[in-house]
Amino acid sequence: MVSSVNLPTPDVGEIDFGAEELTMARYREEGTRRALELDNRGPARFGPDGRLLPEIVESYIHHGFYIFEGVVSEEERADIERDVAHILDRAPMAPDSKLDCHGNPALGADCEGATFRLVRPLSDPFGGTNKNHGRHQIKMAEPKAPAGAPEWVVQVLLGPLQYSEACLRYYAHPTLLAIAVSINGEDFAPFNESIWVKHPRLGGSVSWHQDGWTHWESPDLDWGTHGSNTMMQLYGCDAGNGLWVVPGSHRIGKIDITSMCDESGSDRLPDAVPLLCAPGDVVVASRQAVHGSFANTSDNMRVTINAGFHRRASVLGVTGGGVHNPVSLYDEEYIHHRSRLIAYGIDARRQRFSEETPFEYKPLADEMDRYRWTSEVTADLHDYNLQDIGI
């Protein structure tokens, strides 16, 4: 899958998985075939109640993810691409650097919260470590970096709504939020937002993992307790540069991923499938599903605009954090304050796409006049991701 990319990307030599390349190529082909056999893709279709049709929700519950085709227009993707290009141009040169490639203060250098995560090309920095509550249980294969590779590449930007008005507007896309309602209920709460970048021939891997950590022992645990992620693909994705998911794994509970890999004899889980998306497609995926991605040795850039959502019942009164945000008690005030980003997004989107019917977010429906988007409001978003809602 090749799309026109107008982003600052390093020009480096070709690379592959070396002695494992033929095996990886066969794995990608088989995974693609398995993915296309699933019944979990198509346009977002809603009933008279504004909720996704039951058969779509049933497919999501069964597989743990669903691909909604053609959600975001080319016009809106162009807006987002311009902002992403600016963000990458303003990225720090190294994890401990406060300067960008121009010698100016990097974006987010004045923030207390996490912003950019940079990784060594084609590396797996979290796999097999205790980071993120030790959820990345095994280390993925790390191909040798190609000729001309930089020392560091951007992998993810956290808290992007404070840096990109286009991403803030997308966050309030009526279809996106209608999907969130259908999966998590009309009083859904936010989780966090991010921009994931897989540079061609350089992008690092993310070891197989499940996202949640607080509710695995809950007697009420079900397929959606730890919430969902929605992932818009700016350029599309395939088996070479995309996220892989193990269908149905979100319904099993906490999984011993090390044993899964030991049984397979490698980091190539035999039942996993890649997300296969065109530009503008949106994937909704359970945070409980086993998922991960391999180092991107392909020629194709992946940029994923991620927004996560929770059932309110899963977070209200819960103490969480420690990965995406400081450990915190998620009381009514905390959730209400964090939810203002949805309201700001709705108003910002109304101003840009006036022909649309704005989404009505029920928890703040009576307060929307408080959340008018103006240039002066930007300061209110500074470090907003310190109040993410991670569970």
What confidence score (pLDDT) does residue 68 get?
98
CATH number reported for the structural domain that contains residue 382 in this entry: 2.60.120.620
Neighbours of 51 (CB within 10 A): 16
Are the beta carbons of 70 and 63 closer than 8 angstroms? no
**Is 188 within a domain?**
yes
- Does residue 208 fall inside a structural domain? yes
Q: Is the predicted pLDDT of residue 277 greater than 70, yes or no?
A: yes
- Please write the tens of the pLDDT for every residue from 193-212: 999 999 999 999 999 999 99
In a domain, 140, yes or no: yes
* Assigned domain for 379 exists: yes
In a domain, 12, yes or no: no
In this structure, the number of other CB atoms found within 10 A of the CB of residue 12 comes to 17
Its domain, for residue 330, covers: 18-387
Q: Is residue 259 pLDDT above 90, yes or no?
A: yes
pLDDT single digits (tens) 15-28: 999 999 999 999 99
Query: What was the pLDDT predicted at 3?
Result: 63
- What the block records as the tokens of 215 is 């509710």
Establish if 124 belongs to a structural domain.
Answer: yes
166-177 per-residue burial string, b: 16 or more CB within 10 A, e: under 16? bbbbbbbbbbbb
Counting the structural domains of the chain, the total is 1
pLDDT of residue 133: 86
pLDDT the model gives residue 1: 46
Radius of gyration of the chain (CA): 20
Average pLDDT, the chain: 97
The arithmetic mean of pLDDT across residues 214-235, rounded, is 97
What pLDDT is attached to residue 109?
A: 96
The pairing of beta strand 328-330 with beta strand 228-233 = unpaired
pLDDT average, residue stretch 81-87: 98
3-state secondary structure of 357: coil
Q: How confident is the model at residue 287 (pLDDT cuts 50, 70, 90)?
A: very high
List Cβ neighbours of 193 (8 Å cut-off, separation of 6 or more). Answer: 158, 159, 160, 161, 167, 171, 305, 306, 307, 308, 341, 385
Q: What is the pLDDT of residues 87-127, one digit of tens each?
A: 999 999 999 999 999 999 999 999 999 999 999 999 999 99
Confidence of residue 8 (pLDDT cuts 50, 70, 90): confident
Backbone angles phi, psi at 177, to 5 degrees: -75, -30
Flag whether pLDDT at 2 surpasses 60: no
Is the Cβ–Cβ distance between 348 and 340 less than 8 Å?
A: no
Q: Does the residue 11 lie in any domain?
A: no
Average pLDDT (134-159) is 96
Does residue 348 sit within a domain? yes
